[in-house]
Structure 1
Amino acid sequence: MKCKKTAITYLLLIVSSIMFSQTFTYEYTYKLDSTDLNRISQDVLNLEINNSYSLFYSINRLKRNNYAKALETEIENNTLNLKSAPNPGVHWSIKNDSSRESIMVYEDYSIYKYKYSDHINLDWKLQDSTKFYDHLKLHKATTSFRGRDYIAWYTLEIPLSYGPYKFYGLPGLIVEIYDENKNHHFKMVETSKIKLDENYFSEFKLISKDDFKEFFDKYELNPMSLIPETEGIRIPENQKKIHKERMEARKARRNNFIELR
């Protein structure tokens, strides 16, 4: 997806009205398997910014959730078409409070929806290098974050101290950021018209970051182990074994997450 001049021009026009909510869209390309770097995954995410906080969320995840809600109707009408299912997108959404005291991370795993507080401290080093992205002049900055060294390109023409994922704190909006090996790469693209429902986060349960990590490790290895017997769901042992083997193979291919520690 390429950035269009009309989209960037529009962004420059709306920056003069800082008091209003603004949305910027990023393409996120990432390589989850360090043993197969030619295999690239992709998602598109919105960064919504207002006076109090920013929200960064997956457009594909929203489409996936809307698709799931429509399944019942399709089943009833006998029009179910699984081929039309959208890419699920990344599981996380990020809410960055303007006070910078903490970042709220929302993790959406279908029936499992959790949120936890994360504390971020980024030590940016501003560089002399500049480049242009369409009509925007970008300035270079570098930082290290949880096992990776990053290069960021921000613009003073959009004086908002936010960026994609958990990155923030530069003198202007981060237009592009990637780790030095480009395993994880965010870049601004044409703004999407899809917006987040204001009630989307109402179902998320607050837990600690350590508790989420414990859940995540179990989910990655064997999601079926999370289903309690009291739910009345009985899965044949051979199906459990097959599913576990598939998940173990999948976990082996997912070894290159954005946060290494």
Structure 2
Amino acid sequence: MKKLGILALALMIQNGFAQTYRFVYQVSMKSDAQNKNDIKTENAYLDISSDKSFFYSENRIKRDSIMKNAFQSGGGRGMNRDQMESLRSNISYSVEKDKKDQKIIFKDRLGRDNYSYEEDRSMSWKILTETTKIGEYKVQKAETDFAGRKWTAWFTTDLPYQDGPYKFTGLPGLIVKVEDATGDYSFDLMKNYKLDALPELNQFGSTLKVKRVNYTKQLDKFVADPVAFTMAQQSTGNGPSGIAPPMRVGGAGGPGGGRGGNQNPADLKKRMEERLKEEMKQYSNPIELK
């Protein structure tokens, strides 16, 4: 009987781990170095299954759904532009953590192209003895230096997950809160609930798999001259079936937005240039400084 009891407990634990859960984080960003009073706040999802997890903007999956339906029903002509604008996000990237292979895959869109790279830097944590309580969870303090910022995290062992928002991982528990030393970026767990399965994130257009250093070079080029960068992409005809996908750096869907229908090409170019230049001002203080 004792062995049966232990077996039943083991199966319950295994089933708990096999379930898929969504953890909703509030992300706060001071992405404009010239205006630290401009704090952008939005929600992001950390979806965790038994073998992997995904971190991405809440608005990303809502926009993906609208775009997918619009392209399937009429090549994008039925897309509600106002609705798309209301769902713009400052979190253009997604992060996949493969638990089996211990890989972190970062994906982002620069102009019209999707980029993907495997994270090649380790995250070394210093776990401190300090504990407190955040919401309903008992949490413990930890610190790390990563990508040019010093981060403080609070993790809990009350939940059976060793994961966290963005690229953060490697602690013996789930990260409930993580913030950089300057207060420019923070991730705060708000709630969680069960999912039937991991959702499918749509990827419009092809994805360029590159090394992280090559992605950084392309990002630097884009930030230095977003108009020239995007126009060069446009000349190559990138995009699904010749249709230019919406663009934005730092936001799901991308800067420029949409095909433009029968509008004057010169007006479209001018609007794109103005929008790109304006949005670049908001990304002078990125989450990764090096």
Given residue 83 of structure 1, which amino acid in structure 2 is its aligned partner?
Answer: D
Compute the displacement of 1:145 (Å). 0.8
Contact map agreement 1:154 1:172 (CA 8 A) in 2: yes
Compute the displacement of 1:225 (Å). 3.0
SS in structure 2 at match of 1:164: coil
14-23 vs 156-165, which deviates more? 14-23
- Give the distance between the partners of 1:192 and 1:22, measured in 2 at CA: 6
Name the CA shift for 1:25/1:110 in 2 (closer, same or farther; >3 Å). Answer: farther
Name the CA shift for 1:167/1:15 in 2 (closer, same or farther; >3 Å). Answer: farther
Given residue 56 of structure 1, which amino acid in structure 2 is its aligned partner?
Answer: F
Contact map agreement 2:112 2:234 (CA 8 A) in 1: no
* TM alignment of 1:183-202, pairs within 5 A: 183-191=184-192, 197-198=199-200, 200=202
50-59 vs 224-233, which deviates more? 224-233
Name the CA shift for 1:80/1:168 in 2 (closer, same or farther; >3 Å). Answer: closer
- Give the distance between the partners of 1:79 and 1:239, measured in 2 at CA: 19
Name the CA shift for 1:131/1:63 in 2 (closer, same or farther; >3 Å). Answer: same
Instruction: Quote the residue 1:244 is aligned against.
Output: 273
Compute the displacement of 1:118 (Å). 1.1
Instruction: Quote the residue 1:44 is aligned against.
Output: 43
Compute the displacement of 1:207 (Å). 2.6
TM-score norm. by structure 1 comes to 0.79
Name the CA shift for 1:241/1:131 in 2 (closer, same or farther; >3 Å). Answer: same
Instruction: Quote the residue 1:224 is aligned against.
Output: 231
Deviations 1:185-222 (A, max 9, x none): 10111236887533635953423323333433444422
TM-score norm. by structure 2 comes to 0.72
Contact map agreement 1:47 1:163 (CA 8 A) in 2: yes
**Structure 1: stretches of 5+ with no match in the other structure:** 1-12
Contact map agreement 1:219 1:226 (CA 8 A) in 2: no
Instruction: Quote the residue 1:8 is aligned against.
Output: none
- Give the distance between the partners of 2:51 and 2:80, measured in 1 at CA: 41
Instruction: Quote the residue 1:5 is aligned against.
Output: none
What root-mean-square deviation, in Å, do the aligned CA atoms of Structure 1 and Structure 2 show? 3.5
Instruction: Quote the residue 1:88 is aligned against.
Output: 88
Contact map agreement 2:47 2:198 (CA 8 A) in 1: no
Instruction: Quote the residue 1:6 is aligned against.
Output: none
Aligned residues: 248
Instruction: Quote the residue 1:165 is aligned against.
Output: 166
